[in-house]
């Protein structure tokens, strides 16, 4: 997500340790591109999971509610990525 102020962004998780890799990104930088790619993959995965839960039609509301915050965060980040591409 391009902004005038650098911010801490996720680059994914280390498969060996399970720890999240974070970086301060700058507009147009390599780390920003990696963070954007990670955000888009995470959003695509969330869309798939939430879609599967909705198709089941039997999930309790509490189960669906657990996806609301991560889905909102992923979509918000993707909207920022898309908006930055338009600038």
φ, ψ (nearest 5 deg) of residue 36: -60, -45
Question: Each residue of 73-85: pLDDT tens digit?
Answer: 888 888 777 777 6
The angle, 0 to 180 degrees and rounded to 10, between the axes of the packed helices 61-86 and 30-56 is 150
Examine the pLDDT at 13 and tell me if it is beyond 80.
yes
Alpha carbon distance 23, 30 (integer Å): 11
Question: Each residue of 19-62: pLDDT tens digit?
Answer: 999 999 888 889 988 888 888 888 888 778 777 777 777 666 77
Alpha carbon distance 39, 81 (integer Å): 9
**Cβ atoms 9, 31 nearer than 8 A:** yes
Let me know how many helices (H) and strands (E) the chain has, helices first: 2, 2
């Amino acid at each position: 997500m391009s902004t005038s102020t650098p911010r801490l962004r996720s680059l994914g998780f280390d498969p060996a340790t399970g720890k999240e890799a974070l970086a301060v990104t700058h507009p147009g930088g390599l780390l920003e591109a990696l963070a954007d790619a990670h955000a888009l993959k995470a959003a695509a995965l969330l869309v798939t999971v939430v879609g599967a839960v909705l198709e089941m039609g039997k999930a309790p509301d509490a189960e669906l509610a657990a996806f609301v915050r991560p889905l909102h965060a992923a979509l918000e980040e993707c909207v920022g990525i898309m908006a930055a591409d338009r600038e």
